[in-house]
Structure 1
Amino acid sequence: MGIEVKVEGLTKSFGRQNIWQDVSLTLPAGEVSVMLGPSGTGKTVFLKSLIGLLKPEHGRVLVNGVDMARSPERDIMEARKLFGLMFQDGALFGSMNLFDNIAFPLREHTKKKESEIRRIVMERIDAVGLLGSEGKLPGEISGGMRKRAGLARALVLDPQIILCDEPDSGLDPVRTAFISQLLIDLNTTTDATMLIVTHNLDIAATVPDNMGMLFRRHLVTFGPREVLLTSQEPVVSQFLTASKHGPIGMSEEKDEATLAAEASGGMVAPQPKALVPQLQPSPGLGERAAVARRRERVLGMLDTLPGTAQEAIRSSYGRQDVLAPTVTLPRRGGAS
């Protein structure tokens, strides 16, 4: 099972520019979480802070008893082995074929024999649907395939925590649907704790168990998906409905005068869309182990949640039908 990640009072700045401050949340063990936010809100910085690649000015990130911000470097390096990180562009070595790119962490950080490395790498290549493409260079394949290869590389050390930085960037809606299904299937087969940073509303609405949002240097909210997806908070509603009306502007945020002018002009705040079902694992994979744990956890905190979220949760858990997935992951490589 994945490992819980506990963030306490995290604050990060670059010089005089404060990126975000006093961020506190817990990524539940084995569940899938998503972090949303307009461009420039420091979502990638947040991921790098979780894994200890960037040091915050204040706060802690606790992983298996290790503070990724303050513990001795040797302890941080050891704890970092629990993580798998999927970068926006795949971060593949251009001179290596996909097999060698994916094998790289095993050759660098383990003493496994080449026969064992080949078995592991081919299993991961198969898992992300790239069989037959292992001999190709990154420049010879599509952006979607590079992302899947980057994800395969993140998985070779069997991480208990998987961080995905905008896995949908540059992909069309169909390939994004395949990536969404792949992430759910990976959680099903690995039971790893997952955090996905994304702008994509389809991923946000259908993939996670939990959702958060960064805006104006603060964490707006973090909790069960139903809380954010039914939120009446103006910035959340605006983001989820892709509306021009609300606190988010072209330069990230609008000033008070602009917001007052919108209100006086009779502009109505956008309303949240109807809650859509969460994606289910592909046929044959069974149920995610996180489902039962999440149900117990969420029902235990139900009375502390907003009324709209409570209603959505009760409705969801009251349903008896099992929703089938809308897409299935291909098992062979393709230009996606």
Structure 2
Amino acid sequence: MGIEVVVEGLTKSFGTQTVWHDVTLTLPPGEVSVMLGPSGTGKTVFLKSVIGLLKPERGRVLVGGVDMVNSPERDIYEARKLFGLMFQDGALFGSMNLFDNIAFPLREHTRKKESEIRRIVMERIDMVGLLGSEGKLPGEISGGMRKRAGLARALVLDPQIILCDEPDSGLDPVRTSYLSQLLIDLNAQIDATMLIVTHNLDIAATVPDNMGMLFRRELVAFGPRELLLTSREPVVRQFLAGRRAGPIGMSEEKDEATLARERRDPADTATAPPRIVPQLEPSEGLPPRRAVQRRRARVLEMWDQLPPHAREAIKSGLTAVPVRGEPV
């Protein structure tokens, strides 16, 4: 099972520019979480801070008893082995075929025999649907295949935490749909904790157990997917609806005069109540996701802290679990 990631009071700046401050959240073990936000809000910076590739000025990231911000570098290096990281472009070596690209972490960080490496690599290649392509160079395959190869490489060290940086970048809607299903299928098979950084609304609507959103240098919210999908926060509703009207502007947040003008035009600001689509389930033949039952128990524990609209959405998805004695 994946392990819990606890983020406490994280603040990151570059020079005088604050990227975000006082970010606090917990990635539940074995669950799939998504971090949303407009371009330039520091989603990738957050992901790199979680794994210890960037050093925030304040706060902690606790992973298996190690603080990825403040612990000695040798401890951070060891804890980093718990992670698998999927980069936007796959980050493959252009001179290596897919097999050697995927085998690279095993050859670099373990003393396994080549026969064992081949078994592991071929299992991961099969897992992401690339059997038959292992001898090809990255330049000979499509962008979607490169992303799947990057994901296979992230899996070879059996990570307990998988971080995906905009896995949909550059993919058409059909390939994005396949990738979304692949992420759910992987979670069903390995039960790893997963954090996906994206601004893709289809992934946000169908993949995660939990959702968060960064905007104006803050974490707007983080919690069960229904909390954000039914949110009344203007910035969340604007982002999820993909509308121009709202706090998000083209370059940065809008000024108060623009927002006031939009508020005077009800037709421009009106948005339909969000429709929550069912979360993806594992493909036929795969085991059910173990995270589902854990999530149900966790959500019921926080029931009293959730707003009414989120409760109603959650109840509709918990048909097998009674809520505080009420029929569902």
Cα distance in 2 between the residues matched to 1:264 and 1:246: 12
User: What CA distance in whole angstroms lies between the structure 2 residues aligned with 1:269 and 1:319?
Assistant: 35
Aligned to 1:102, the other structure's residue is in SS state: helix
Q: Which ranges of structure 2 fall in alignment gaps of 5 or more residues?
A: 322-328
3-state secondary structure, aligned to 2:135: coil
- Counting only pairs closer than 5 Å after superposition, residues 221-240 of structure 1 correspond to structure 2 as 221-240=221-240
Aligned to 2:304: 303
1:332 match = none
Partner SS state of residue 309, structure 1: helix
Measure how far apart 1:252 and its partner are. 2.8
- Deviation (angstroms), 1:319: 6.6
What amino acid is the match of 1:114?
A: E
Contact 2:189 / 2:287 at 8 angstroms: preserved in 1?
no
Amino acid at match of 1:301: M
Q: Supply the distance in 2 between the matched residues of 1:282 and 1:247 (Cα, whole angstroms).
A: 38
CA distance in 2: counterparts of 1:272 and 1:228, whole angstroms: 12
Question: C-alpha displacement at 1:253, in angstroms?
Answer: 1.2
Amino acid aligned to 1:298: V
1:159 is aligned to: 159
Structural mapping, 1:62-141, within 5 Å: 62-141=62-141
Residue in 2 aligned with 1:26?
Answer: 26
Which residue of 2 is the match for residue 284 of structure 1? 285
1:12·1:19 contact (CA, 8 Å) conserved in 2? yes
**Could you say what the CA RMSD is over the residues aligned between the two structures, in angstroms?**
1.0
Shift of 1:318: 2.4
- Aligned equivalents of 2:228, 2:265: Cα separation in 1: 27
User: Structure 2: how far apart are the matches of 1:222 and 1:261?
Assistant: 30
Distance 2:14 2:56 in 1: 10
Report the Cα offset of residue 270 of structure 1.
Answer: 2.4
Amino acid of the structure 1 residue aligned with 2:318: Y
**Alpha-carbon offset, residue 263 of structure 1:** 1.1
Identity %: 81
1:167-225: CA deviations, max 9, x gaps? 00110111001100000000000000000001110100000000000000000000000
CA distance in 1 between counterparts of 2:193 and 2:264 reads: 45
* Structure 1 residue 272 displacement after superposition: 4.1
Structure 1 residue 305: deviation in Å?
Answer: 0.4
Supply the AA of the counterpart residue of 1:208: P
How many angstroms apart in 1 are the aligned matches of 2:241 and 2:273? 7
Superposed counterparts of 1:42-81, under 5 Å: 42-81=42-81
Kindly provide the amino acid, as one letter, of the partner of residue 232 in structure 1.
Answer: R
Q: Report the 3-state secondary structure (helix = DSSP H, G, I; strand = E; otherwise coil) of the residue aligned with 2:136.
A: coil
The corresponding residue for 1:260 is 260
| Structure 1 counterpart SS, 2:163 | strand
Rounded Cα–Cα distance in structure 2 between residues aligned with 1:319 and 1:112: 45
Return the letter of the residue paired with 2:290. Answer: A
* TM-score, normalising length: structure 2: 0.96
Decide whether the 8 Å contact of 1:238 with 1:269 is kept in 2.
no
Question: Quick one: distance in 2 between partners of 1:128 and 1:217?
Answer: 35
